[in-house]
Chains A and B, each alone.
Chain A
Amino acid sequence: MKQFRFTFLLVASLFSLSASAQTADEVIAKNIEALGGAAKLATLKSVRMESNLSVQGMDIPVVTTKVHNVGQRVDISAMGMDGYMIMTPTKGWTYMPFMGQSAPEAMPEEQVKEGAEELDLNGALFNYKEKGSTVELLGKEDIDGTSTFKIKLTTKAGKTRTYFIDAKTFFIIRMTAKATVMGQEQEVSVSYGDYKAVDGVFFAHTIGGAFGQGDMTVTKIEVNKAVDEKIFTVGG
């Protein structure tokens, strides 16, 4: 369950697109360019994504709504039961009735901290310096046969994420992270594919390794639609 939550935060972070170059900065610049350019990315205020998780032939719809640095809500429907995860910069809740939860539970503080940066719609690599993060290019690495630049980002809070950026397309094809949550070290690896433009910004439309299941397929993305911020509260 904890692993699930942690994975979830990172999966939802797909909104936070990023990329890389020959020096870390060059790679990141090319990634930003590949995603639609800095100017375009900077206009992102909200994203709503409809997706589908296929579990043994059963389709589970997942809707993610995110407002830049304000909040993120992931709604999951399975078996006619509706669950959600909510994250704001300071608070978080989960309600997963299909996983046996009977009432919303507040996320542990550590987990909220772990997830807070995922609320950044522009992605951790975008303007990373201003955000107080540092990056390091760890050379090239072969990911499932594809040559990538390996960029390690360390946030102001000391958290690290490793991005594998396709050396041809400059899209992120994999992100790995380690975190210690509630005294347990957890490792997560998420892969991204099928990048398509939505209003000039490229988003991955397949997300692999999500929730330890198969690929999550994104069916629809809307950007900058008005979002009622009440949805980032329990019962909202």
Chain B
Amino acid sequence: MKKILLCSFLISMAIVQTGFAQTAINSNTFGMMEARALGPGTMSGRISAIEGVADDPKIIYVGSAGGGIWKTTNGGASFKPIFDKYCQSIGAIAIDPKNSKVVYAGTGESNMRNSVSIGDGLYKSTDAGDNWVKIGLDSTEHIARIVVDPKNSNNIYVAAPGPLWSDSKHRGLYKSTDGGKTWDKILYINEKAGCAEVILDPTNSDIIYASTWEFRRLPYLFNSGGNGSGFYKSTDGGKTWKELTNGLPSKPFGRIAFTLAPSAPQNMFAIVESNETGLYISNDGGESWKKQSAILNVVARPFYFSTIVVDPKDPKRVYRPAYTFSYSVDGGYSFAESSGEGGWLHSDMHALWINPQNSSHMYVGSDGGVYMSVDKGATWMFLQNLPVGQFYHVAVDAKEPYNIMGGLQDNGSWIAPSATPGGVTNSSWVALFGGDGFWVQPDGVDPNIVYAESQGGNVGRIDTRTLKSVSIKPQQGVGESKLRWNWNTPIVIGQANKKNLYIGAQYLYKTTDQGRNWTRISPDLTTNDKKKQEQENSGGLSADNTSAENHTTIFTIAESPLDENMIWVGTDDGNLQYTIDGGKNWVNVAKNYAASGIPAQTWVSSIEPSRFDKNTVYASFENHMYGDHKTYVAKSTDLGKTWTMFKSDEFTGFAHKIKEDLVSKDLLFIGTEMGLFASTDAGTTWFRMKNKVPDMALVRDIQIHPKTNDLLIATHGRGIYVIDDISPMRLITKDIAEKDVYLFENKPMRLTNGDWGNGGFPGTGGWNAGNPISIPPIQYYLKDRLNSGRVVVEIYDDSGKLVQSIPASNRKGLNKVYWNQRMKPPKTATGGSKVDYGGFIAPMVLPGKYTVKLKAGSKELSSSVVMQHDDKNPNFSKEDRQLQYKTAMDIYRLHESLAKVVDDISGRQKQLKKYMDSTSNKKLKVTLQEYYDQLEALRANCLATKMKSVFADEERIRERITDLYMAVAMQESAPSNLQLQRVGVLKGEVDGAAQSNEAIVAKYDAKVKAALIKEGLLKDDKPKVENKKL
């Protein structure tokens, strides 16, 4: 009884829910509105792990700092991303030596620089990367190494340095003995020190070496080193450990990078960060060590460069990829640098994989991508097809096509057109500025000027015609404190007055003449907390102060689009201030936002003053440098007095950016360290934007182009994404989302072959992002995938004649179908020996109003579209178009006329063949053959019938028509005099063929018919019909 009650309850619940269920607007609603990955591969991004398959070394997995995992099955000729649904920061990859289909990926890179991302655990694939399952260690945040026991695949070791910004128990050396199902921590020091490296003796898996590392970052300081750092050895599979000290420097240690020679595992090499940082060598399995003098690169920046590798076969050959690439041929006693022959090897290296089958062949991963060597690291070639660049910001200009610009971690600042013949490729990008790149801004007025910077506020004004730059960094004035520039110093163009350019140190500066003259328009807007200004002590055991730890600085600036005197400023230490009088007076609303639940002293990562209401402002805040990864984004409608935090279960990752749409005040976007989110109801509900953007992309910046409505997404690890034309996000309201089928109105379309030129060969490698499609799509919405019936879009002209019928997609959400603006191609003569392209080409339609009919299953909807002459093309007038169309149609009809003749010939030939086969009358056979041969001679004059190879051109009437037809139908210009003349010549040829056909028929038909009747092969009673047929 209870069961029945429960059941009926559930059923009625289901009914209720169905009755009131609303169609949620989410990523699926915008179905085919998909992103293009712009890359580029020119400047790739930081690579943190490279692992190849030992017995099939053309299969290689590349883990990146913020762009997931990429796999090649051809040694690097092409790569595919295989981790797009998961955390994009990769710390380590391991392949089971006994079964290369089993792959482990540890998320959270361990190159602990200021901008490092965080991971969310360890993943396993059992099908070579096609599918992944998370298998634990969720809170480790950073994983430095995964080792699978070569003797027993169930034994897995994971070195987890653990969280960078907070104390944590989730660090140390973990071991699984069941293939990753369960984990034990087998080496743990304390909440401050994790495990940075683990290596197994390849001849005895019970012998394990591990280094522990105490490290910590604060927003304003880095420390590497402490009593928690140490060097350990176990000889019982990790049950017990002893510390290695003999011959090593005195503690405290920092990070220890070490390795052993696989072919002679007693030989070990360690770079020990300490008060006497150096290279230490052991030849007794770590029991005793000797310091060896080494070049600067070998001991450089131990916290950042933790890779040292020995050749798999030669125990004397030692590799040290670090700031540069060094190698030793004498067991570490001396080192040489790789050659620059073949091109610059990007500095800052973190991964090296050597092909065990051929140890001359290797791959190194740097801050600028992957390089391959075939000569043991002496020279390198760059793999240009990994689009894992780490952008901080993106900006666009007003040109057509517009330019896209931005700055990248360790890879400078670049600019590229959003469209170019052949697609936007690596070579489309032009370097603007060096160093680490951050903000790039186009001048608001002068189309030739852009501003870019390198770390620490080194801002330049660049003329894109000469690419020369002039430093415009403001200088410390009389009576002012030393200027404090953020690593990622904001340079911002005014929204209300495009002549305004702002830059922030602790003071806000403004210029209206391109940086030639600056005015300071604020006092120190930060907390000016002196404790947070001791960057000179940063680094710990090794000094490391590269402006990355600069603090108490301005981090974000925004001028209200509605009032140039209203300026908002956010700092990295929690201040959020505004002025309404151009900087004379400032109001700090830090306490107000804190009242809404956002921690004080958090970074104000972005501010978005509304373009619809002066009192409304949005801001994103991020607190990860205090170990807090929550998504903080808030809105104020009273000029910052009170704030409401946006909440959603969908949110993941700390927030970098809030962006309000330019047209719809209800449309908002948020970019976080783990995803792109959107709201179409002013922030009430949020959804993760997928649309071909990786689910957990590190989204640093978001812009919307005011003319094209393109959404530009700067990611820190996957380059830039463009979602072409997001206007459907403004159009699909809740009402429309409830409709089963909805056909959108079309804006007038320009009749054009496209805007991006015709030139170009196929790409020869590197990244190609393609182009936006120059013809706008016809768009419709399906509430659900159409399961039965098909979807077709039909175009009718003014007179109601069907112009084209286009098969269309049935997917859920927004669908796009592209009409090529042409009619159906002509029916061309068939039966030849080559493909004739005339049958694929149709004349472009004339300007006018056309009806668009959408048939989706049983539903039918109509809209219209106005096709306009292309006024952008100065070489094609309306009159030209009329003549071009008329001529193309004349040739179109020549094709159809010829096709009729050839059909007639082929039809007769078929019949003749039949009669030849069925008669035994020799004389009749001869006549039939003669008739057939004459027809064949004519047919062979009408179209190519003999061609045996695509390289041997045979040209007959059909081919000659096509030659002219393709030229005229595809050209955007009036026909030339000779093209016009040629139409007449070809018409003569077609007419001639028709006449010849009639003549042959006249000569043979009656005669043959009579003979066939006589033979009893043809009845006399339907003479007309038979006449026609035969």
A, B from the same assembly = yes
Chain A residues within CB distance 8 Å of chain B: 54-58, 78-81, 97-98, 100, 102, 138, 142, 144-146, 152, 160, 162, 166, 169, 171, 173, 178, 185, 193-196, 205-206, 208, 214-215, 217
Contact B813–A145 (Cβ < 8 Å): yes
User: Could you show 7 A-B contacts with beta carbons less than 8 Å apart?
Assistant: A54-B806, A57-B820, A58-B825, A80-B831, A80-B906, A81-B830, A145-B812
Tell which of B784, B790, B831, B950 touches A194, judged by Cβ atoms closer than 8 Å: B790
- Interface range for B: 35 or more
Q: Are A54 and B807 in contact (CB under 8 A)?
A: yes
Q: Is the CB of A100 within 8 A of B812?
A: no
Q: Looking at the complex, which one of A102, A162, A206 makes contact with B949 (CB distance below 8 Å)?
A: A102
Cβ of B824 < 8 Å from any Cβ of A? yes
Smallest Cβ-Cβ distance to A194: which chain B residue? B790
Q: Which residue of A lies closest to B29 (CB)?
A: A145
**Is B757 part of the contact surface with A, judged by Cβ < 8 Å?**
no
Q: Once the chains bind, are B28 and A145 in contact (CB under 8 Å)? A: yes
8 A Cβ contacts from B820-840 to A: 820, 822-825, 828-833, 835-836, 839-840
Assuming A79-B839, A145-B811, A145-B813, is B788 touching A195 (CB within 8 A)?
A: yes
A58:B840 contact, CB within 8 angstroms = yes
Out of A98, A162, A193, A208, which one reaches B787, CB within 8 Å? A193
Please determine whether A98 and B835 come into contact, CB atoms closer than 8 angstroms: yes
With A57-B825, A193-B787 in contact, do A81 and B31 touch (Cβ < 8 Å)? no
Residues on B lying within 8 angstroms of A by beta carbon are 27-29, 31, 73-74, 127, 130-131, 784-790, 804, 806-807, 809-813, 820, 822-825, 828-833, 835-836, 839-840, 842, 906, 948-950
A185 nearest CB neighbor, chain B only: B73
- With A and B bound together, what is the CA distance between A215 and B792 in angstroms? 11
Q: Which of A58, A138, A162, A206 contacts B810, CB < 8 Å?
A: A206
Summarize B's interface: helix, strand, loop or mixed: loop
| Given A166-B787, A214-B807, A100:B950 Cβ within 8 A | yes
**Cβ-closest 3 pairs across A and B:** A80-B830, A145-B28, A145-B812
Query: Nearest Cβ in chain B — how far from A1, in angstroms?
Result: 12
How many A-B pairs with Cβ below 8 Å? 97
Question: Closest B-chain residue to A150, C-beta based?
Answer: B131
Give Cα A152–Cα B27 distance, bound, in whole angstroms: 26
Question: Do A144 and B790 touch across chains, with their CB atoms under 8 A apart?
Answer: no
Task: Point out the residues of chain B lying under 8 angstroms from A162, CB to CB.
Answer: 130
Identify which of B28, B804, B833, B840 contacts A81 (C-beta below 8 A): B833
Most buried by B among A145, A166, A173: A145
Chain B residues with Cβ below 8 Å from A185 are 73-74
**Sample of 19 further A-B pairs with CB below 8 A, known A169-B787, A206-B790:** A54-B807, A55-B840, A57-B822, A58-B839, A79-B839, A81-B830, A97-B833, A98-B835, A100-B950, A144-B785, A144-B813, A145-B29, A145-B785, A145-B812, A146-B811, A194-B786, A208-B809, A215-B790, A215-B809
Distance in Å: Cβ of A150 to nearest Cβ of chain B:
8
Tell whether, in the assembled complex, residue A56 and residue B820 are in contact, meaning their CB atoms are under 8 Å apart: yes
A56 surroundings in chain B (CB, below 8 A): 820, 825, 840
A79 to B836, CA, bound (A): 7
Residues on B with C-beta less than 8 A from A171 are: 787
| Contacts known (A57-B822, A214-B807); A146 close to B790, Cβ less than 8 A | no
Closest partner residue, chain A, to B948 (CB atom): A102
Closest to A216 in B: B807
* Chain B residues closer than 8 Å to A194, beta-carbon distance: 786-790, 810
Q: In the bound complex, what is the Cα–Cα distance between A98 and B836 (angstroms)?
A: 9
- A138 interface neighbour in B131, B830, B831, Cβ under 8 Å: B131
Q: Is the CB of B789 within 8 A of A80?
A: no
CB nearest neighbor in B for A160: B127
Residue contact A81 to B835, C-beta cutoff 8 Å: yes
Residues of A within 8 A of B790 (CB): 193-194, 205-206, 215, 217
Contact of B835 among A79, A166, A169, A196 (CB under 8 A): A79
State A144–B73 Cα separation when bound (angstroms): 27
Nearest B-chain residue to A214, judged by Cβ: B807
In the complex, A236→B840 CA distance in Å? 31
Set of chain B residues within 8 Å of A146, measured between Cβ atoms: 784-785, 811-812
Q: How far is the CB of B541 from the nearest CB of chain A, in Å? A: 47
Question: Which of chain A's residues has its CB closest to B788's CB?
Answer: A194
Q: Is the CB of B131 within 8 A of A152?
A: yes
Closest Cβ neighbor of B787 among chain A residues: A169
In whole angstroms, how far apart are the Cα atoms of A142 and B85 in the complex? 11
Distance in angstroms from A108 CB to nearest chain B CB is 19
